[in-house]
């Protein structure tokens, strides 16, 4: 028992810095592939990525143990979960296709998402306790989270497709250290990720609307509809519907560059909507006391949720 | 030895020029016939491939061998071109350098993709065609047979041919694999039924391709290839229909004009709905108009586009290169020496015969004078005369051999002819 508690105490020192440093190191190793060959690099990348993932998972478990909330319901936890999922995908791809330079595209996104969380969102507290989660809010959060992961992966696949297509169209010979998956593979990933992200994001948005409607019916105290959230969500939903229809009725949209453009646009729109929704203080707690500064960490429940 | 080569290759000329100067098999026959008429005492072999157009000429007598200028003018005249710009575009080698070039070419050291196996077959084919048209002679027989032997030696003694990197294999392994990750469900159209088409399809079949259609102007040839690779053969009029449905096109015809222009491709492109289409145009002259590459979702690669990968292959084979090169140099030197020996051997033979005849006459005269001798004494006298003749001939003949090995710079053969009054 003592040794287990020692391990837990030791693991409690694991912070965001640990896994972020691991991912940054892996990214440096990936970039170094462009310039020289080292036999042990692949093993080193796998080991460091696995170590980073372990630290990431431990950090999540410890965060969940020490709070009464779930990481899903804070923007910070959300970003960290997206980063975790992206690293899992990266590790899988690295094992499956060790000669492909997927890391050059995936890891900057991982670092970017973690960086955004650390710089802009670390002060945000979870807004819903585990006990208060309803079916619709779980569906809303989960579908949007998975949809965001799919859209992010789709964006990366889209960028890779466009880079590969650009190279092949201009007949640039394959370069050692910069080998991308085949156009066919990238097109397939793009198509499935676009379809998946469209379905999940639409489900998430609809679940959010239903959840809000249920709350409005059930309680008179519920916060009013936020026009920015409503407009941006409707715009995103419209885009997703148009994308779906476009794909269904316009054959070229299912293949080639068009599907890559669609995934990239979907991601950019999703990012814009996220920024708008966040700036509208959707799903964040608002300070009731004017004396509290923005940077202070909240300690009690004297806040109300801006829906 | 009067052996020379005039031509152009991917090293010194553009694809456009090679396209202009290319000889189809029928053209080659006509050109060989014309060469024979124009230079009746000269031997000639014409090698025309995607990457080179070379005319090898030679004759035992230097006076009847056409000059590089005459060959250049012949090429220009044959293709209806102005000869003046060609004087700067075409290269020429003679003697040892020409032999070395042929050996390096046959051994695929001079190929765009070093180590590609087709070139040896193409050299053999060119030599056999010239032989069939009665354009070859002792000089070309010797040098081309040696080239084939040297190519086999390079292949067996070095690993320069390992990890086969022929144009078809580079086209499939280095280019097509960047587009497709598997071939089982891909529709593939092979245009042409020649050697390149056959080898390319074999690579595709090895990679799992199942749905292959071969078309050719000669349907019988298409059927032959299709049977060999378990593919389907279609008549030529199905070309445009097939182009609308396939994922990969391998084009290898010998057509003098593009078989598909951008204007012809436009309606086909519309029916494809921008589905990815990879066209590997391995033909010279090109079969597909280069403007087709501008169409969305269409990727058109021609032979020159392979050059980047070929450079990479060259680097990978650098370690084996000196060894292969040394074989070429050794074999060239040996062949030149052998050729020169061969040219002096009739004279040596004549000298030996002359000496033996004199020896036999002197022996007969001596035995007549000496009367009855026992058998042992007779044999001893004969052996003694043999030794004397051999000892007398050995130093001049060795000097002659050394001189011919060095190119006959000291004119010993002429001296020998005059000293011993040797005649044709």
Tell me what ipTM this predicted complex has. 0.76
For A:219-278, CB contacts with B below 8 A are 251-252, 255-258
B8 given a catalytic annotation: no
Shared domain check, B269 and B174: yes
Alpha carbon of A185: minimum distance to chain B alpha carbons (Å): 7
CATH number at residue B215: 3.40.50.720
Please report the pLDDT score of residue A270 as a whole number: 79
Confidence of residue A301 (pLDDT cuts 50, 70, 90): very low
Residues of B whose CB is below 8 A from A102: none
Of A173, A184, A252, Cβ closest to residue B274:
A252
pLDDT of residue A202 exceeding 70, the answer is yes
- Continuous segment of H or E residues that includes residue B197: helix B195-206
B276 and A187 within 8 Å at the Cβ level: the answer is yes
Alpha carbon of B88: minimum distance to chain A alpha carbons (Å): 30
Say if B231 falls within a structural domain: yes
Say if B400 falls within a structural domain: no
- Continuous segment of H or E residues that includes residue B24: none
Cα(B164)–Cα(B72) distance, integer angstroms? 35
| Mean pLDDT of the region B240-263 | 91
DSSP lists the bridge partners of residue B211 as: B187
Cα dihedral angle (B412, B418, B422, B424), rounded to 10 degrees?
A: 90
Helices (H) and strands (E) in chain A, counts: 9, 2
Shared domain check, B156 and B179: no
| Mean pLDDT of the region B255-277 | 89
Q: Is B1 exposed, middle or buried (0-12, 13-18, 19+ CB in 10 A)?
A: buried
Smallest CA–CA distance from B298 into chain A, residue: A169
Q: Within an 8 Å CB–CB cutoff, is residue A101 touching chain B?
A: no
Contacts of B67 (CB under 8 A, 6+ apart): none
Higher pLDDT, A229 or B241: B241
Smallest CA–CA distance from A251 into chain B, residue: B273
CB B405, CB B337: distance < 8 Å: yes
Smallest CA–CA distance from B302 into chain A, residue: A171
B178 and A251 within 8 Å at the Cβ level: the answer is no
Tokens representing B156?
A: 């067996």
pLDDT of residue B135 exceeding 70, the answer is yes
Shared domain check, B159 and B20: yes
pLDDT of residue A128 exceeding 60, the answer is no
CB A165, CB A260: distance < 8 Å: yes
* Last residue within a domain, chosen from B126, B146, B163: B163
A181 and B181 within 8 Å at the Cβ level: the answer is yes
DSSP string, A105-168: HHHHHHHHHHHHIIIIITTPPP-SBGGG--HHHHHHHHHHHHHHHHHHHHHHHHHHHHHHHHHH
Alpha carbon of B166: minimum distance to chain A alpha carbons (Å): 17
Of A172, A184, A257, Cβ closest to residue B296:
A257
End-to-end CA distance of chain B: 18
CB A121, CB A75: distance < 8 Å: yes
pLDDT digits (tens, 9 = 90+) for B297-334: 899 998 888 766 766 666 767 677 888 889 999 999 88
Shared domain check, B154 and B62: yes
Shared domain check, B178 and B242: yes
Of B174, B178, B297, Cβ closest to residue A256:
B297
* Last residue within a domain, chosen from B284, B306, B328: B306
* Last residue within a domain, chosen from B163, B183, B204: B163
Residues of A whose CB is below 8 A from B182: 184
Smallest CA–CA distance from B294 into chain A, residue: A169
Confidence of residue A70 (pLDDT cuts 50, 70, 90): low
Say if B88 falls within a structural domain: yes
Q: How many CB atoms lie within 10 A of CB A302?
A: 11
Confidence of residue A281 (pLDDT cuts 50, 70, 90): low
Say if B347 falls within a structural domain: no
Say if B325 falls within a structural domain: no
Please report the pLDDT score of residue A222 as a whole number: 57
Shared domain check, B89 and B185: no
Say if B350 falls within a structural domain: no
Please report the pLDDT score of residue A261 as a whole number: 82
B181 and A164 within 8 Å at the Cβ level: the answer is no
Say if B337 falls within a structural domain: no
Contacts of B378 (CB under 8 A, 6+ apart): B367
pLDDT digits (tens, 9 = 90+) for B356-406: 999 999 999 998 888 888 888 889 999 999 999 999 888 888 888 788 777
Cα(B142)–Cα(B345) distance, integer angstroms? 15
Task: For chain A, give every domain's residue range.
Answer: 1-126, 134-286
pLDDT digits (tens, 9 = 90+) for B9-62: 988 888 888 888 999 888 999 999 999 898 888 899 999 988 899 999 988 766
Please report the pLDDT score of residue B102 as a whole number: 94
Please report the pLDDT score of residue A66 as a whole number: 66
Shared domain check, B264 and B200: yes
CB pairs under 8 A between A and B: 51
Shared domain check, B229 and B115: no
Look over chain A and give the mean of its residue pLDDT values, rounded to a whole number.
77
Out of B50, B65, B295, B310, pick the active-site residue.
B50
Confidence of residue A300 (pLDDT cuts 50, 70, 90): very low
Instruction: Tell me which residue has tokens 């090679």.
Output: B18
Bridge-based pairing state of the strands A303-305 and A285-287 = antiparallel
Residues of A whose CB is below 8 A from B300: none
CATH number at residue B21: 3.30.460.30
Shared domain check, B133 and B266: no
Alpha carbon of B283: minimum distance to chain A alpha carbons (Å): 18
CB A222, CB A276: distance < 8 Å: no
Shared domain check, B70 and B156: yes
Q: How far is CA B266 from CA B215, B251, B287, B293, in A?
A: 21, 18, 16, 11
B285 upstream amide cis, omega within 30 of 0: yes
pTM: 0.61
Domain span at B274? 167-306
Please report the pLDDT score of residue B424 as a whole number: 67
| Mean pLDDT of the region B196-220 | 88
Higher pLDDT, A283 or A258: A258
Please report the pLDDT score of residue A302 as a whole number: 36
Query: Domain tally for chain B?
Result: 2
Cα(B300)–Cα(B259) distance, integer angstroms? 14
């Amino acid at each position: 028992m003592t040794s287990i508690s020692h391990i837990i105490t030791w693991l409690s020192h694991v912070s965001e810095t640990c896994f972020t440093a691991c991912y940054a190191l892996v990214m440096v190793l990936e970039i170094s592939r462009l310039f020289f060959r080292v036999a042990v690099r692949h093993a080193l990348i796998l080991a460091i990525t696995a170590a980073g993932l372990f630290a990431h998972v431990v950090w999540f478990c410890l965060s969940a143990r020490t709070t009464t909330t779930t990481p899903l319901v804070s923007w910070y936890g959300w970003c960290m979960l997206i980063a975790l999922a992206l690293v899992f995908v990266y590790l899988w791809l690295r094992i499956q296709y060790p000669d492909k330079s997927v890391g050059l595209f995936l890891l900057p996104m991982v670092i970017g998402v973690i960086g955004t969380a650390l710089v802009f969102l670390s002060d945000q507290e979870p807004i819903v306790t585990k006990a208060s989660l309803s079916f619709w809010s779980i569906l809303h959060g989960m579908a949007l989270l998975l949809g965001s992961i799919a859209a992010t992966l789709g964006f990366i696949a889209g960028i890779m497709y466009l880079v590969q297509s650009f190279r092949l169209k201009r007949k640039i010979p394959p370069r050692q250290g910069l080998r991308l998956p085949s156009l066919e593979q990238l097109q397939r990933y793009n198509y499935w990720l676009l379809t998946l992200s469209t379905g999940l994001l639409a489900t998430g948005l609809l679940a959010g609307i239903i959840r809000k409607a249920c709350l409005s019916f059930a309680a008179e105290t519920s916060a009013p509809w936020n026009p920015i959230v409503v407009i941006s969500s409707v715009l995103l939903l419209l885009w997703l519907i148009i994308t779906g229809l476009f794909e269904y009725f316009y054959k070229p949209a299912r293949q080639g560059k068009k599907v890559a453009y669609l995934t990239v646009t979907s991601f950019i729109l999703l990012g814009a909507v996220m920024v708008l929704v966040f700036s509208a203080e959707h799903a964040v707690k608002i300070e009731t006391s004017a004396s509290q500064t923005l940077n202070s960490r909240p300690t009690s429940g004297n806040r109300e949720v801006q829906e | 030895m009067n052996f020379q080569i005039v031509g152009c290759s991917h090293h010194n000329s553009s694809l456009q020029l090679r396209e202009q100067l290319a000889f189809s098999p029928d053209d080659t026959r006509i050109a060989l016939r014309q060469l024979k008429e124009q230079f009746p005492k000269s031997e000639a072999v014409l090698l025309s491939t995607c990457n080179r157009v070379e005319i090898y000429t030679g004759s035992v007598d230097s006076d009847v061998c056409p000059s590089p200028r005459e060959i250049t003018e012949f090429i220009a005249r044959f293709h209806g071109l102005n000869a003046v710009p060609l004087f700067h575009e075409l290269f020429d080698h003679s003697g040892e350098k020409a032999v070395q070039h042929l050996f390096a070419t046959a051994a695929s050291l001079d190929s765009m993709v070093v180590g590609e196996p087709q070139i040896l077959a193409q050299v053999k084919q060119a030599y056999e065609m010239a032989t069939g048209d009665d354009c070859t002679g002792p000089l070309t027989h010797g040098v081309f047979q040696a080239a084939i032997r040297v190519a086999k030696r390079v292949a067996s003694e070095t690993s320069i041919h390992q990890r086969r990197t022929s144009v078809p294999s580079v086209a499939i392994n280095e280019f097509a694999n960047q587009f497709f990750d598997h071939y089982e469900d891909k529709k593939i159209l092979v245009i042409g039924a020649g050697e390149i088409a056959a080898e390319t399809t074999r690579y595709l079949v090895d990679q799992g391709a199942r749905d292959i259609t071969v078309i050719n102007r000669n349907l019988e040839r298409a059927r032959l290839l299709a049977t060999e690779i378990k593919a389907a053969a279609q008549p030529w009029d199905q070309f445009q229909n097939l182009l609308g449905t396939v994922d990969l096109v391998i084009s290898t015809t010998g057509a003098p004009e593009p078989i598909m222009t951008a204007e012809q491709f436009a309606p086909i492109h519309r029916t494809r709905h921008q589905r990815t289409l990879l066209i590997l145009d391995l033909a010279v002259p090109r079969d597909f108009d280069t403007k087709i590459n501008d169409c969305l979702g269409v990727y058109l690669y021609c032979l020159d586009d392979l050059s980047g990968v070929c450079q990479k292959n060259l680097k990978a084979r650098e370690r084996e290169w000196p060894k292969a090169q040394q074989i070429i140099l050794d074999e060239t030197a040996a062949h030149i020496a052998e050729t020169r020996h061969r040219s002096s051997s009739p004279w040596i033979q004549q000298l030996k015969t002359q000496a033996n005849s004199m020896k036999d006459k002197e022996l007969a005269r001596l035995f007549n004078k000496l009367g009855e001798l026992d058998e042992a004494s007779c044999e001893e006298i004969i052996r003694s005369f043999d030794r004397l003749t051999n000892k007398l001939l050995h130093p001049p003949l060795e000097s002659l051999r050394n001189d011919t090995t060095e190119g006959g710079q000291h004119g010993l053969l002429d001296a020998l002819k005059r000293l011993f009054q040797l005649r044709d």
